[in-house]
Amino acid sequence: MAKDRSYPELDRELFDLPPELRWREWMRRIEAVLFASASPVPREDLARVVGQEAPVDLLVEDLTADLEGRAFEIAKVAGGWIFRTCPAYAPAIRAAADVGDQLLDLSEFDVAVLAAIAYHQPVTRDGLKDIFGKEISRDLIGRLHSRDLIGTGPRSPRRGAPYTFVTTEQFLISFGLESLRDLPDRELLEDAGLSAEL
């Protein structure tokens, strides 16, 4: 999010405040940064607005506790934190707000292709064809790419050096994952009969 900038007018340490007020001010600063950001904010960026000894993780935990019972929450996704609306309010938002291009509106097969890319990345179109037993359309790949859920990975080290596909930070954000390590275990999915292809 932030570039390496120094703003001398920002008193990070707040030594003139009593400890309880200092802590509360640091929480407000983190809240303001998260509220203003359209993408996940990593720990290093949040550390720029609080004192050197301030434990960012604990400040975020306390802020999360303060938000308990509200319509929005702090989520840890894609290596940082972000404000988002609680999933329970999705129907109300869809009914009243213009969220058009924010909706993923993916078919079951689209999600299966995304999952195959996530588990096998970097993977070529031929690799996807091997997984699903049929050609994956350029249109589907284009839709996933235009929604920034997948990107182009390294060229495959085989004849013709075809492009590969990988998931993106937006994929992690859209599915509420901090990293690809948070994907469900493939063996558990297979045991549940949900993922024979994977």
Same domain assignment for residues 110 and 162: yes
**At which of 54, 89, 124 does a domain end?**
89
pLDDT(24) > 80:
yes
pTM strictly above 0.75: no
Mean pLDDT over residues 102-115, rounded?
82
pLDDT tens digits along 119-175: 999 999 899 999 999 999 999 999 899 889 999 988 888 777 788 999 999 898 888
Domains contained in the chain, number = 2
Q: Quick one: average pLDDT of 60-89?
A: 91
Q: Which two tokens stand for residue 134?
A: 């049929």
Whether residue 13 is contained in a domain is answered as: no
Per-residue pLDDT at 6: 58
**Where a domain ends, among 89, 115, 131?**
89
What pLDDT shows up at residue 193? 57
pLDDT of residue 89: 86
Distances (CA, A) of 169 to 12, 52, 73, 79, 148: 30, 28, 19, 9, 8
CATH of the domain at 33: 1.10.10.10
Among 89, 115, 142, the domain-final residue is 89
Distance between CA atoms of residues 186 and 61, nearest Å: 30
Inside any domain, residue 167 = yes
**Token pair 């050609």: residue:** 135
Full domain range(s) for residue 77? 19-89
CA distance 53 to 65: 21
In a domain, 98, yes or no: no
Instruction: Give the pLDDT of residue 198.
Output: 47
Same domain, yes or no: 184 and 124: yes
Token pair for 118? 């996530």
Confidence of residue 93 (pLDDT cuts 50, 70, 90): confident
Q: Is residue 155 part of a domain?
A: yes
